[in-house]
Amino acid sequence: MFVSFEGVDGSGKSTQARLLEQHLTGLGRRVVSTREPGGTELGERLRAIVLDGPPISPWAEAALFAASRAEHAAKLIRPALESGADVVCDRFVDSSLAYQGIARGLGVDEVLALNLTVLDGLLPDRTFVLALAAAAASARREHAPDRIEREGDAFQAHVGDAYEELARRFPDRVELLDGSLPPGEIAALVRARVEDLL
């Protein structure tokens, strides 16, 4: 199965991805854990550009994320799934739909079309969005803010609203979870929701 975690920076998605990986490994399943942007050599180089580089126009930003994702899917995610492994990803296509499609105003359909083309239709079986107020998420961060995080809580709040819109638009795949709950409670909810995929 292919599961991704989404949310504003600081929402706890990386923690939940790690906890699900540990749970699945404990069940004896083979798990490939990865992140976006990143996951491949090209992806990590593009990550440095989009997160720590100069200002980028919205479509250039969307295209760079899509390029990273195309390489990620071709070199890591598809081969892992085809070999029978589970894939747990910290961010995937829904990040681009929320950040560039909605928050940057490029359009969900337009950004989705770009990504479905470069991914040959690959989407996660389930995407969990950790919903958390932007100010609370910002207070949790333990690292210096990257280029996107420096855009402030107002932009992050817009992204949070965008994720809620995606959950309404794609209810069969995208599920909102309360990111303010203790990590153990969220992890238990995630485990229960993925049982039907095992």
| Residue 48 structure tokens | 């440095």
| Residue 185 structure tokens | 């409670």
- Bridge-based pairing of strands 126-131 and 2-6 is parallel
* Interatomic CA distance for residues 28 and 132, integer angstroms: 32
Type of residue numbered 135: A
* CA dihedral sign of residues 91, 55, 66, 79: negative
pLDDT in tens, 31-73: 999 999 999 999 999 999 998 999 999 999 999 999 999 999 9
Domain enclosing residue 7, as ranges: 2-197
CA distances to 19, 139, 158 from 152, in Å = 28, 12, 10
pLDDT at residue 77 in the model: 98
Evaluate if residue 179 carries a pLDDT over 90: yes
pLDDT at residue 144 in the model: 78
User: CB atoms < 10 A from the CB of 197, how many?
Assistant: 11
pLDDT at residue 139 in the model: 78
pLDDT in tens, 10-19: 899 999 999 9
Number of domains in the chain: 1
pLDDT-above-70 percentage for the chain:
100
Evaluate if residue 164 carries a pLDDT over 80: yes
Enter the pTM of the model: 0.94
pLDDT in tens, 66-103: 999 999 999 999 999 999 999 999 999 999 999 999 99
pLDDT at residue 9 in the model: 86
The phi, psi pair for 42, rounded to 5°, reads: -60, -45
Q: What is the mean predicted confidence (pLDDT) over 135-161?
A: 83
Q: H helices within the chain, ranges in order?
A: 13-26, 41-52, 58-72, 78-82, 93-96, 108-119, 134-140, 153-169, 183-194
* Interatomic CA distance for residues 35 and 3, integer angstroms: 11
Tell me the sheet residues that pair with 175. Answer: 128
* Interatomic CA distance for residues 64 and 47, integer angstroms: 9
Name the average pLDDT for the chain.
94
Q: Which residue has the higher pLDDT, 93 or 155?
A: 93
Instruction: Provide the CATH number for the domain around residue 15.
Output: 3.40.50.300
